[in-house]
Structure 1
Amino acid sequence: MYGASMSRWTMTYFSASIAFLLSGLVSIGSGYGTLSAVDAPDNLAIIHLIVIGWLGLLFCGALLQFVPVLSATHLRLPWLAAPALLALCLGLGLLTMGFLALGGRLPIDATIMSVGGMLLGIGFLCIMAMLATTIVAQRAFGISGFLVLVGLCALGVTIVLGNMFASLLAGVLDIPLLATHLAELAPYHAGLGILGWMTVTAIGVSYRLFAMFMLAPERTGARNPIAIAVPCALAALFSAIGLRFLDAAWAQTVTIVAVILLALIVGLYGQDVWRMFKARRRKTLELNSWTGLAALGFLALAAMLLVGAVSFSTNMALATAAFYLLIMGWLTGLGLGQLYKIIPFLTWLETYGPVMGRREVPRVQDLVDERHARPWFGTFYVSVLVGAAAILFGSDPLFRAATWIQCAAVAALALEYLRARRLSYAPLHVRLPPGAVRPHTICVTTQTKE
C-alpha cells in the first residue's frame, strides 16, 4: 500500500525542528552567548535549543519514517509518537528556561531544569521504545539497523548524564563527587549525544539513503569493519567516563583512543561512500546527494580537529570548532540536504498515492526547483566555515555575522520545503488531479497504516 511506510507525525517533528533551529540562530545573532565561555548558561541554553530542538527532533522524525523501511516492517508502538513530541518540546522549553534562570535572565526557580530533564528523558525513552522494538522485531538486520541500535544505547547514556547534570545545576541533587567532576564530564555528555547517537545514527541511515538516491550498491552485513569499530569506540568513551573518577591520566588516554577510533570510523565511512559514488548508476546526482557529500567533508574536517583537540587538551578552541563543525557542518548540513528530498517525496506519496496508476501525476523532482535552493546551500556551507574560523580566532562579531547568514540560508531553504509541501512547483495541469489529497503543512492528512 502507498501509505504503509508513512509516519503520521514525521512532518510535525520536522516543522518543530526547523522552528527551533531558526530560534537558536536568531538568539546567537542577537547577542546571546559568547565564545569566551562555552559553558555559560546562555550558551548552554542555545546549544541545547539547537542540538535537542533542531537535531534531536529532526532525527526522531526521520527515524520514525525510515526505521520501518530499514527493518521492512511496520513501526511498533506508533501511538507514542505524539506524546513523545509533546514531552520533548515541553521538556526543552523548561530546560532552556532553567539555563536562563541560572544566568539571571529569568526571575524563576532554576529547579524547573530537573523537570525539563525528566520530560526530555520520557520523550526520548518513548522514541527509543518505538525504534528499538521495530528493529529487533526482525531476526536479522543490516549495518544500518545495527548502527541505529548502537546509537540508541549512546542516547540512553546521554539522557542519564544530562538528567544528573540538570539536577546538580538546579540544586535538586547533592552528590559532591559528581559535582567535583561536572566540568570534566560535560564534554563526554556532548560527545555521546553528538557523536555516539547522532553521528553513528546518521552514518547508519545515510548508508541506505546514499545508495537509494545515487542508485548504488549498498554495503551491508556484519563484515563491515564499522560494525566492529563503532561499539569499540563507544565502549572506550564509556570507560573514560568511569576513569574520570579514578585516574584522570588514564581517562585522557582512553579518550584519545576513542577519538582515534572515531576518526577511523569516519575514514571507513568515507571510503564506503566513495565506492558507492563510483559505482552509482545515476550519473547526474540530485542536489540532496551533493549536499550530503559536502556534509561528509565537514565530518572529516571535524574529526581531524577533534583528534588535535584531545591530543593538545589545553587548546579549547580546537574542540569548540570541532563540535561546531559536527553540529552545523556535518549534522545540520546533512539534515537540511536530506530534507530537501524527504519532504517532497513524502508529500508526493501522500498527495498522489491515491491516484497513482489512474491519473497523470508529476514526478517527485517536479515538486522542487534546485535553481532556487542551490545558492542557499552554498551560502550555508560557506557561512559555517566562516563561523568555525571565527571560533578559532575568538571573534564574536564575525561569529554572529556568520550566524545571521546561516539564519537567512535556513529560512530560505525552509521556504523551499514549504513550497514543495504546498505543491507550488508542480506543473499546473497535474498539480492536484481528481482524487489526490491536498497535504496539510505540518502533518500527514492521509490515514496511514503504521
Structure 2
Amino acid sequence: MKHTPHTVVLPFYGYAAIALLAATILLACSTGAMTGHYFQPHVLAITHAMALGWGTMIILGASHQLIPVLIEGRLYSNTLAMLCFVLAAMGIPLLVYGFYVFDLGWPAKAGGILINVAVSLYVVNVVLSVQKSGKESIQAVFVLTAACWLLLTTGVGLLLLYNFTDPFLSRDSLAFLSLHMHLGVIGWFLLLVAGVGSRLVPMFLLSKYSNTSQLWWMYALINGGLLLFVFLFVRFPESGWHKIAILPLAMALLIFGVYCFRVYQSRIRKRVDGQMRLSILSILMAFLPLFIIAVISIGSAVVGNSPVLPLVYGFAIFFGWLTSIILGMTFKTLPFIVWSKVYEHQAGLKKTPQPADLFSHRLFRLMALTYLAGFLLFATGLAWKNIIVLNFSAPLLVTAAFCYNLNVFKLVFHGRHHQ
C-alpha cells in the first residue's frame, strides 16, 4: 500500500481553507440578508461556498489520501485526482459568483458543468481504485456510495440551475431545493463522515473497538432514510410526509454515537487532545439539525411556516456540524500528510518532530474558541432575527477562519523550509 502523493492532496486543503475564509467574509457582509427568507442570492452563494468550496473540497482531498488506507491498495489514478481538483477549483467560484449576483447565465452554468465533470472523475477514480484492489472494507463501501450520492446531488443541482432560466420541470426550482440539499447533506456528507469517522476515531484514540454489524445497520438506515425521503418528496410533494425520514436518520446517528462512545471507552490513549474534543463535539452537533427539523414540523403544524428556522437549520448543518468536524479532523490528518512528506524517510535515522508539532496549538485554541462563540452567537442572532448580534458574531467566525488558514498554510509550506 502506498500513500497518495502530497502534491495531489495538499491543494484540496489549501483551497478549502481559502473557501472557508471567503464564505465567512461573505457572511459578515450579508448579515442583513440573514433576517429574511432563505431563498436569496447571498444566502445561496454562501451555502454553496460552504457546501462545495469548504466541505466538499476538503473531503475530496482527505478521501484521496484515505482511500488507499481503506482498500489497502493504491489510488487508481493521481492524474484523475488532479483533474478533479482543477475542474472543481474553476467551477465553484463561477457558480458562487452566479448566485451572489443572481445571474444564472453562462458563468453559473459553466461552473455547474465543471463541478459535475470533476465529481464524475472522482467517482470513476473511487470505483476503479476499489475494483483494482479487490479488497472492500465497510468504510470503502460508505465512501463509494457517498460518492454516487454526491454525483446525483450535483446532477440535480445542474438541472435546477437550467430550470431557473428555461423551465422544463413540473415545478419551479425552489420547490426542489430541499431535495437537492438533503441529497448532499445526507447522502454525501453524513454517509461519508460516518463511514470514514468509524475508521479515523478509533485510529486517533488508539482503540481496537470494532463492530461491523453496527456499521452495516448505520449504512442501511442512512441510505434507507434518504431513499424514503426521496420517494415521499417526489410522490407526495405537498404532504410533508418526507419528514418521516428523520426517524431512520436519528436511529443511524444514535448508533454512530454509541459506536464512538464504545471507542472512547476502550481507548488506549487516555488523554484526548483538542482536535479530537472538537471532533467528538461535532458528533453531538449532528443531532442539532434533527432537533430543528422536529421544531419546524411541530411549529408549522401549530402556527404555520416560519422563514427563520430553515436558515437556522442550514446554518447548524454547514457552519455547525460539518465545520466542527472538519476543523478538528484537519489537524489530525494534515499534519500526518506533511510529516510523511518531509520526515518519514528520516524516521529512525535522526530525531524528527511529531506530526502534532508541525502546527500552532495556540492558534488552534484561538480558532476553536472564536469558532464556538461565533457559531452559538450567530445561531442565536438568526433565531431572534437580531442584526446587532449577527454583526457582532460574524467577525468571530471570520477570525476563526483566519486562524484556520494561518495554521493550514503553516503546514502546507512546512516542507519547503525543511527540505
Picking from 138, 154, 167, the partner of 2:149 is: 154
How far apart, CA to CA, are the structure 2 residues paired with 1:176 and 1:155? Answer: 21
Picking from 152, 156, 165, the partner of 2:160 is: 165
Matched, 1:112 2:129: no
Q: Aligned pair in 2 of structure 1 residues 196, 287: CA closer, same or farther (>3 Å)? A: same
Match of 1:427 in 2: none
**SS of equivalent to 2:212:** coil
Match of 1:50 in 2: 50
Picking from 402, 405, 417, the partner of 1:411 is: 402
**Displacement of 1:273:** 0.6
Q: Which moved more, 1:135-144 or 1:67-76?
A: 135-144
Matched, 1:77 2:77: yes
* 1:256-280 deviation per Cα after TM superposition (whole angstroms, max 9, x unaligned): 2212221221111111111111111
**Displacement of 1:421:** 4.1
How far apart, CA to CA, are the structure 1 residues paired with 2:135 and 2:83? Answer: 30
* 1:55-110 deviation per Cα after TM superposition (whole angstroms, max 9, x unaligned): 1111111111111111111001221122211211221122123223426xxxxx72
How far apart, CA to CA, are the structure 2 residues paired with 1:400 and 1:50? Answer: 19
Match of 2:27 in 1: 28
Q: Aligned pair count? A: 413
How far apart, CA to CA, are the structure 2 residues paired with 1:394 and 1:421? Answer: 39
Picking from 224, 227, 230, the partner of 1:238 is: 230
Q: Percent identity?
A: 20
**8 Å contact from structure 2 (residues 6, 341) kept in 1:** no
How far apart, CA to CA, are the structure 2 residues paired with 1:176 and 1:61? Answer: 34
**8 Å contact from structure 1 (residues 256, 311) kept in 2:** no
How far apart, CA to CA, are the structure 1 residues paired with 2:127 and 2:392? Answer: 41
Q: Aligned pair in 2 of structure 1 residues 298, 379: CA closer, same or farther (>3 Å)? A: same
**8 Å contact from structure 1 (residues 5, 69) kept in 2:** no
Match of 1:396 in 2: 387
Q: Which amino acid aligns with 1:99?
A: F
Match of 1:283 in 2: 270
Matched, 1:378 2:377: no
How far apart, CA to CA, are the structure 2 residues paired with 1:101 and 1:380? Answer: 28
Match of 2:332 in 1: 341
Q: Aligned pair in 2 of structure 1 residues 216, 354: CA closer, same or farther (>3 Å)? A: same
**8 Å contact from structure 1 (residues 154, 234) kept in 2:** no
How far apart, CA to CA, are the structure 2 residues paired with 1:440 and 1:317? Answer: 49
Matched, 1:133 2:112: no
Match of 1:190 in 2: 181
Picking from 155, 178, 183, the partner of 2:171 is: 178
**Displacement of 1:222:** 4.5
Under a length normalisation based on structure 2, what TM-score does the superposition of the two structures give? 0.92
**8 Å contact from structure 2 (residues 122, 147) kept in 1:** no
**SS of equivalent to 1:102:** coil
Q: Which amino acid aligns with 1:412?
A: C
**Displacement of 1:366:** 2.3
**Displacement of 1:302:** 2.2
**Displacement of 1:416:** 2.3
**8 Å contact from structure 2 (residues 76, 125) kept in 1:** yes
Match of 1:434 in 2: none
**SS of equivalent to 2:337:** helix
Match of 2:251 in 1: 264
Picking from 256, 259, 274, the partner of 2:261 is: 274
**8 Å contact from structure 2 (residues 6, 338) kept in 1:** no
**Displacement of 1:219:** 2.4
How far apart, CA to CA, are the structure 1 residues paired with 2:363 and 2:44? Answer: 34
How far apart, CA to CA, are the structure 2 residues paired with 1:100 and 1:6? Answer: 35
* 1:334-384 deviation per Cα after TM superposition (whole angstroms, max 9, x unaligned): 111111122211111110122222222122222234344223212211211
How far apart, CA to CA, are the structure 2 residues paired with 1:29 and 1:223? Answer: 41
**Displacement of 1:139:** 4.5
**Displacement of 1:234:** 1.7
Q: Which moved more, 1:223-232 or 1:41-50?
A: 223-232
**SS of equivalent to 1:361:** coil
**8 Å contact from structure 2 (residues 370, 399) kept in 1:** no
**8 Å contact from structure 2 (residues 335, 358) kept in 1:** yes
Q: Which amino acid aligns with 1:281?
A: I
How far apart, CA to CA, are the structure 1 residues paired with 2:153 and 2:346? Answer: 45
The structure where helix makes up a greater share of residues is 2
* 1:413-434 deviation per Cα after TM superposition (whole angstroms, max 9, x unaligned): 32123334455xxxxxxxxxxx
**8 Å contact from structure 1 (residues 318, 392) kept in 2:** yes
Q: Which moved more, 1:363-372 or 1:85-94?
A: 363-372
**Displacement of 1:176:** 5.0
**Displacement of 1:142:** 3.2
**Displacement of 1:238:** 2.1
Matched, 1:320 2:320: no
Q: Which amino acid aligns with 1:81?
A: A
**8 Å contact from structure 1 (residues 263, 307) kept in 2:** no
How far apart, CA to CA, are the structure 2 residues paired with 1:248 and 1:136? Answer: 42
**SS of equivalent to 1:248:** coil
Matched, 1:229 2:221: yes
Q: Aligned pair in 2 of structure 1 residues 219, 323: CA closer, same or farther (>3 Å)? A: farther
**8 Å contact from structure 1 (residues 74, 134) kept in 2:** yes
How far apart, CA to CA, are the structure 1 residues paired with 2:126 and 2:390? Answer: 37
Q: Which amino acid aligns with 1:155?
A: L
How far apart, CA to CA, are the structure 2 residues paired with 1:45 and 1:322? Answer: 16
Q: Aligned pair in 2 of structure 1 residues 241, 78: CA closer, same or farther (>3 Å)? A: farther
* 1:281-303 deviation per Cα after TM superposition (whole angstroms, max 9, x unaligned): 10001221111011112112222
Under a length normalisation based on structure 1, what TM-score does the superposition of the two structures give? 0.86
Q: Which moved more, 1:233-242 or 1:333-342?
A: 233-242
Q: Aligned pair in 2 of structure 1 residues 56, 176: CA closer, same or farther (>3 Å)? A: closer
How far apart, CA to CA, are the structure 1 residues paired with 2:323 and 2:276? Answer: 14
